[in-house]
């Protein structure tokens, strides 16, 4: 079994953690009334920006390590029609890792002229007011961002369920290829 390179493993799980934090803290970051709300708003923006930063590193790393990518389990029988599905799902996840935080950034720019994270000097550079007013005229970007965020989470749910299906029902090595080395030798007998 060839696992994913360690850098890809690290980025994959750091991204999963950052998305979870961004989703759990999601709300309008400009309207916090209590200290906890304001902190959660900063958390949402910071974790979301981590997702964006990590995918910008992940894309070149993926390209450079293409030859070390694990070979996926060939599907058999009627399942062969679904052979391309994981590839499409992964491509959609990449698009959403880029688009969801980018829309959040644009939405924030239409809602406030500045945004200081965690009440400190960590000001987020926002799009200027002329650009953001023009973007706002295209529709409620905040609402679109929230909708795309929900779609992202739904796709992650299906992706995680598929990984668990491979591990628990098909009993192949798909999940192990995305786990650190020490988890690659335990569990049910591998078939690839």
Residue among 63 and 78 whose Cβ is closer to ligand HEM = 63
Q: Which residue has the tokens 């529709």?
A: 139
Joined together, the tokens standing for residue 64 give: 């450079």
Q: Is 173 in the site for ligand HEM (CB under 6 A)?
A: no
Residues with Cβ within 8 Å of 179's Cβ and at least 6 positions away in sequence, in order, are: 3, 9
Contacting residue, 38, 72, 127, 184, with ligand HEM by CB under 6 A = 72
CB 136 within 8 A of CB 111: no
CB of 160 to ligand HEM, least distance (A): 4
Contacting residue, 3, 54, 100, 117, with ligand HEM by CB under 6 A = 100
Q: Is 187 in the site for ligand HEM (CB under 6 A)?
A: no
The neighbour count for residue 17, using CB atoms within 10 Å, is 12
Contacting residue, 54, 97, 117, 132, with ligand HEM by CB under 6 A = 97
Contacting residue, 1, 14, 21, 49, with ligand HEM by CB under 6 A = 49
**Among the residues of 119-189, which ranges form H helices?**
129-137, 141-165
The neighbour count for residue 132, using CB atoms within 10 Å, is 20
- Build a one-symbol-per-residue string for 123-142: x at contacts with ligand HEM by CB under 6 A, - elsewhere: -------------------x
Q: Is 181 in the site for ligand HEM (CB under 6 A)?
A: no
């Amino acid at each position: 079994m060839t696992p994913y390179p360690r850098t890809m493993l690290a980025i994959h799980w750091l991204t999963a953690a950052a998305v979870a934090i961004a989703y759990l803290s999601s709300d309008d970051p400009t309207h916090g009334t209590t200290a906890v709300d304001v902190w959660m708003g900063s958390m949402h923006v910071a974790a979301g920006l981590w997702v964006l930063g990590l995918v910008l590193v992940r894309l070149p790393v993926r390209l450079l390590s293409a030859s070390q990518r694990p070979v996926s389990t060939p599907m058999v029988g009627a399942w062969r029609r679904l052979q391309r599905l994981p590839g499409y799902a992964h491509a959609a996840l990449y698009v959403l890792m880029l688009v969801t935080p980018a829309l959040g950034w644009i939405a924030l720019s239409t809602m406030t002229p500045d945004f200081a994270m965690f009440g400190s000097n960590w000001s987020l550079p926002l799009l200027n007011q002329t650009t953001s007013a023009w973007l706002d005229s295209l529709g409620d970007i905040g609402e679109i961002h929230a909708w795309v965020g929900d779609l992202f989470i739904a796709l992650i749910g299906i992706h995680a369920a598929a990984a668990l299906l491979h591990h628990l029902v098909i009993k192949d090595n798909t999940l192990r290829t995305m786990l650190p080395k020490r988890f690659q030798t335990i569990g049910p007998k591998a078939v690839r």
